[in-house]
Amino acid sequence: MADETTSSSPTIDPYEYLQFFPNPDDTATRKSNVLLSKTISDPDHDPRVLFKDVPISTSNNTWARIFLPRQVLDSSSTTKLPLIVYYHGGGFILGSLDDRFFHDFCSNVALEYPAVVVSAQYRLAPEHRLPAAYDDSMEALHWIKTTQEELLKKYADFSSCFLMGPSAGANTAYQVGLRAAAQVEDILPLKIKGLILQHLFIGGVKRTESELRLINNPIFPVCASDLMWEFSLPHGADRDHEYCNLTVGGGSDVLDQIKQLGWKVLITATTGDPMIDRQVEMARMMEQRGVQVKSHYDEGGYHGIDVIEPEKRKAVPVIMKEFVNSAMAPQSVKDIVG
């Protein structure tokens, strides 16, 4: 296995690996794969957490799932819980918020943080290439700010909102964050306090050392991420497009606004992820732009481990609490090696 993961030549068929098969009409056939396992049913769900599905856009067939710890329903306290808006992973071509990994993760965060979690569905590529996922995810924010849904109006603190996601969901949280920072008044009464980016899905044309070293990583080979970008980026774009290479040109101009707003950014990653070099570069770039960043890097591991493995999943709320509650000095990056 060591020889395979350190080889500089790809040996894995990404279509078979992902069970993703493009069709001539710019659609795709998706079969069951090792990354995603649908779906959750009520008997499998943690009874300590209430969840409710709500429609967002009937025309785009998008929806959201609200998670709330049941204990607050019986509490006399009027204190509202922080609001976490969560975007699922899947490389923009796979996945749904009701995949078991994402459902269980959101349920755990709602219970252990605790928080109100809104997990938002977005349209997938290649049927709907980027920026469709970003558009849908931004629409979810506007739905939240105007909804009359009681679970949100009664229990969610709209003035303490964080955008969060793993992999492509982290990429989406970042892109939605850029849009939201550029139109702060338009999303009131939502007040975003920061971004929580887990195992950020990020790329570029030129290979990094970690991509070459882990090119045939058995959990997430580089060829799989290449395929995801090929079918999710706008037609004609390469991996240095701003949706993929988030550090190109020194990053978005909106980072200056994020700095002024005082948002905090948490980046979690593992050294076993082929994208680790890019994730470290991303943290460094934001630090240089004056954004308050905290990085949590675990040794070993793999892309998405925080969502997939139950024990790692349980540790995330602890890291989140430390991140939110810590008094971070501007223009600094704190690295915690776990």
Q: What is the pLDDT of residues 215-252, one digit of tens each?
A: 999 999 999 999 999 999 999 999 999 999 999 999 99
Out of 88, 103, 296, 303, which one is annotated catalytic?
Answer: 303
- Look at residues 187, 311, 167 and name the one whose alpha carbon lies nearest to residue 232: 167
Say if residue 206's pLDDT is above 60.
yes
Q: Which two tokens stand for residue 175?
A: 């892109």
Q: How many CB atoms lie within 10 A of CB 59?
A: 5
For residue range 138-175, list pLDDT tens digits in order.
999 999 999 999 999 999 999 999 999 999 999 999 99
273 assigned to active site: yes
Whether the CB-CB separation of 324 and 263 falls below 8 Å is answered with no
- Look at residues 217, 254, 166 and name the one whose alpha carbon lies nearest to residue 4: 217
35: confidence class by pLDDT, cuts 50, 70, 90: low
Distance CA 309, CA 169 (A): 17
Distance CA 170, CA 134 (A): 11
Say if residue 300's pLDDT is above 90.
yes
Predicted pLDDT at 98 = 92
Burial of 337 (0-12, 13-18, 19+ CB in 10 A): exposed
Distance CA 204, CA 310 (A): 31
3: confidence class by pLDDT, cuts 50, 70, 90: very low
- Look at residues 224, 214, 217, 232 and name the one whose alpha carbon lies nearest to residue 17: 224
For residue range 310-331, list pLDDT tens digits in order.
889 989 999 998 887 763 334 3
Burial of 116 (0-12, 13-18, 19+ CB in 10 A): buried
DSSP, collapsed to helix, strand or coil, labels residue 50 as strand
Predicted pLDDT at 6 = 43
Predicted pLDDT at 34 = 55
Say if residue 209's pLDDT is above 50.
yes
Out of 98, 273, 298, 306, which one is annotated catalytic?
Answer: 273
Say if residue 203's pLDDT is above 80.
yes
> How many Å from the N-terminal Cα to the C-terminal Cα in the chain?
24
Distance CA 29, CA 50 (A): 33
Rounded to 10 degrees, the C-alpha dihedral 113/145/147/105 comes to -30
167 assigned to active site: yes
The secondary structure of 104-156 as a DSSP string is HHHHHHHHHTT-EEEEE--PPTTTT-TTHHHHHHHHHHHHHHH---HHHHHHE
75: confidence class by pLDDT, cuts 50, 70, 90: confident
Out of 167, 225, 232, 295, which one is annotated catalytic?
Answer: 167
The secondary structure of 52-73 as a DSSP string is EEEEEETTTTEEEEEEEEGGGG
Say if residue 74's pLDDT is above 90.
no
Q: What is the pTM of this model?
A: 0.92
Q: What is the mean pLDDT of residues 104-115?
A: 95
DSSP, collapsed to helix, strand or coil, labels residue 334 as strand
77 assigned to active site: no
Whether the CB-CB separation of 157 and 81 falls below 8 Å is answered with yes
Mean pLDDT of the chain: 91
Q: Which amino acid is at 138?
A: M
Predicted pLDDT at 330 = 40
Q: Which two tokens stand for residue 184?
A: 């702060």
Positive or negative, the Cα torsion across 189, 291, 250, 334?
negative
Say if residue 2's pLDDT is above 70.
no
Predicted pLDDT at 199 = 98
Predicted pLDDT at 10 = 74
Greater pLDDT, 32 or 302? 302
Distance CA 160, CA 10 (A): 44
48: confidence class by pLDDT, cuts 50, 70, 90: very high
Predicted pLDDT at 329 = 38
Predicted pLDDT at 91 = 98
